[in-house]
Every structure is written in C-alpha cells, then in structure tokens.
Amino acid sequence: MRRHRRAKIVATVGPASNSPEMLKALFLAGVDTFRLNFSHGTHEDHAKVHAAIRALEKEVGRPIGILQDLQGPKIRVGTIKDGKITVAKGDTIRFVLKGQDGDRDAIPLPHPEIFAAVLPGHHLLIDDGRVRVKVTSLGDDSMTAEVVFGGVISNRKGVNLPGTLLNLSPLTAKDRADLEFGLNLGVDWVALSFVQKPSDMIEARGLIGDRAGLMAKIEKPQALEQIDDIIRLSDGIMVARGDLGVEIPQEEVPGRQKELVRACRLAVKPVIVATQMLDSMVSAPTPTRAEASDVATAIYDGADAVMLSAESASGAYPLEAVSMMDRIIGTTERHKLYHSLIRASDPAEEQTPPHAVAAAAADLAEAVRAPVIVAFTSSGTTAARIARKRPEVAILAITADQAVSRRLCLLWGTHSILSEDIHSYEQMVQVASTVSQSAEFAKLHDQIIVVAGIPFAQAGTTNNLRMLQIGA
C-alpha cells in the first residue's frame, strides 16, 4: 500500500463517492485523507461515511485521515420580489437590515454585524463577485450603494466584504453542533472557515482541545494580515482559493499561495492547496492543460497536499479525478527540475537542537543514499521537522498513537505506521530495521537513518540521530 509520491491527496466525499465500494476505489487510486464537507449532508450521512472509512482502514491495514470541514457563517441577501433584480453600472441601490420581497430600494441584508462594521467606500461582492457595489452612505438600518459591476441579484445569493472586518464568530450554532458531532465520531482534522483573526483560532481551540488537529482555512484578506499568528495557533493551513480569489484580486492568488506554503514549511505545519484544481473533471473525464499545470505548480511550491472538491464529491468522474491527480503529482515529483525548485524555496531553519537533528538526518540520508529515514514520533513533530527539508528520501513515521498516525496522512513524504511504545535504544534499532523491511522501504544490508527523541515517548525531544545497516 506504499505511495510512490511525496505530496498527499485530499478528496471530498459526496453523493458521487460515499459508498463503501467507491471509497475503497478512491483510496486505492491515491486518496490519503477524506474530507467531510459539513456544508452539505446530514449527521447520519457523515456518520455512515466515517464508519465506512474506518472499516476500510482496518481492511487495508494503513491509517486514513478524515478531515471535517465546518461550514462557517454564510452572509446572504434575503428574498427579493419576483426572485431577482437586474442592476447596471452606475445604478444606486439600497440595502436594509429588515424586510423581505425587496426591490432595488430595499434589498434585504439580514446581518446586523455588516451594518455595524461597514463604512462608506467599502465594497460588497454579491454572487461570488458577479455583482460589485460600493457603499456611499449609511443609515441606522440601511445603506446606499453605487453599482460598480452590474448583473443579476437573486434570492439568497452570497455576499463577500473584502475590506470589512466583521465582529462575527467563525463558529455558528450549526458549526458548534457539527463540531461536537464530528469530535465524538473521531475525526482527525477540523477545518475552520471564515477565519479573520488569531482570536478565532483560540475560540476554536477552546472547543477542540487536542481531540483533533485544527486547520485554518485562509479565505479572508483579514487573515492574511495576521497570518503568522494564525499559523502559530493552528496545526495546519488550507489555502481556500475559492473565496480568497473573490475577496482579493485574482492575480494575487498565485503569489499568496506561494507565501502561505513557504510560511507553513517554516512553521513546520502541513498546508493544503484547495479549490478548483481539476474543476473541469466535474463533467469531463480529463482536465484542461491549465488545471494540470495548476496542480503541478502547487507541487513545485512544496505543498503538503492538494485537494479535490466537487470533482470527487458530486462529479461524474471521481475515480478518474483522483487517478489524474495522482499521476500529475508523481510525474511532477520525478521531473528533473523538481528538487532544485524545492530547494530554491527552502525556508530558513530554526537554530534549535531538534530542528538541527532533523535537518542533519535529511542531509545524511541523501549523502549516503539511504532508502528511508525512520522517525520515531509521539506527536508527529519529529516527522514534520524532517519533512520540512523535503528530502529526496522517504520518511517512515513510527508512532504508538493512532490519532497521530492518521493526522500524518496529510504530511508531505511521510508514511505512518503504528507500533508499540519504544522503551530502549536496542528496541528502537530492532523496530526500525524490522518495520522498514516489512513496509518495503528497505532491504537487508541497506543503510537507513533513524531519528528519535530520548527519553522515548516524550513529545518535542528530537535529539538522537543514528545510521544503521539492516542485518549488521
């Protein structure tokens, strides 16, 4: 079941992929972590998928990650007379806090936090930016705006406010209920939508604790302004390019993606690049050349994982989409320029013993052409420190914690295996030799690199580096 590639694949589960048979097919085709999108489906639906994935995990004998993606607040206009109105550039329209069946003089916008925060000159983007208006004046429960880009405004269309910091929790009542349900199920990661500021992460962490990894979805420009603190408070990052591409100029998204990947590598946190990666495969059996290039770019950037959304959840070709993603990643990583481009974007290393040991392990493994680096880890941090170097050598993470082994399914280049706790140096050597052979990462007489923390089973103590020959 070994993957012969470094970057991981996340696939969203939906009507096209929620049967046990299809989940197994997608896993065999290359999925490392399944995403449960709580914007859709019932708790019962998600519980069935979760049970099927855990049964599959037991069948294949390999950890499989499960990511719960919370919906977050949804800002929408209310209902409009006749279902829609058409506005043109230069028109003046008016939004009101209360009301229904509105017209251009009273479009319902039932969100008091908007009226409390918006200022003249701020922009509202309606229906993913298809209609753009600029606020010109404010009343107590109303605002007047000038249409910048015209189009159709219809019932319940979404609204984005790229220049406005809203006093709004990222966790709605629905999210809190979904979160508790997901944590009780045993999800491995929780992705938090609508993150604007570091305190949003603190609020979520207070509810999650250490029951799952906390991932910040970067989709708001306000988050970019405090990104270092948000990354520090998270266990991982998702570059959610859909909403981000609505709220910042689209031409800035590729550069921001590179910045976020680099920042996460520096912070030793996994990063997922998401949204519309193979979007045409929702309805076609092959992607466009531009989409293939987009996936490859994320791999050249050094992303830990790339994600499929509608392609695997509701598309006509979920299996083909995963297989295509797998092939693009593998081909990109085998390209002669791949390692030189990855090296060119290496972040500076922290000057601490654990980081130095991990970096030395990566360098030593490449110098002696070892087939694998074996990392004994209780929290996953040792493996993450090695993965930050993006070595040309496979990383085999051995842990006694099943939750850690599943979370590592998102970490670049890392294959995780469950083992009993290690209590002695001799046992470490024996387990490293045995597991690296049984998992087909090395063979008799190979030189392998072993990294661990002593005392054993204590998080954060990456302090021991050993080169050993199997069978010596």
Spatial distance between the Cα atoms of 307 and 300, rounded to a whole number of angstroms: 15
6, 217, 385, 390: which is the annotated catalytic residue? 217
In the residue annotation, 76 being an active-site residue is answered as yes
Beta strands in 38-130 (DSSP E): 65-69, 84-87, 92-96, 107-108, 123-126
- Which one-letter amino acid corresponds to residue 447? Q
CB neighbours of residue 125 within 10 Å: 20
DSSP character for 83?
Answer: G
Residue 86: name the closest of 157, 136, 161, 144 by CA: 157
252's CB contacts (< 8 A; 6+ apart) are none
CB 217 within 8 A of CB 195: yes
CB 71 within 8 A of CB 171: no
3, 24, 76, 197: which is the annotated catalytic residue? 76
Query: What three-state secondary structure class fits 413?
Result: coil
Q: Which residues pair with 415 in a beta bridge?
A: 396
12, 164, 275, 332: which is the annotated catalytic residue? 275
35, 132, 258, 265: which is the annotated catalytic residue? 35
In the residue annotation, 258 being an active-site residue is answered as no
289's CB contacts (< 8 A; 6+ apart) are none
Spatial distance between the Cα atoms of 186 and 212, rounded to a whole number of angstroms: 8
In the residue annotation, 369 being an active-site residue is answered as no
Residue 288: name the closest of 253, 316, 314, 324 by CA: 324
In the residue annotation, 289 being an active-site residue is answered as no
In terms of C-beta density within 10 A (0-12 exposed, 13-18 middle, 19 or more buried), how is residue 75 classed?
Answer: middle
- Which residues are known to be catalytic? 35, 76, 217, 275
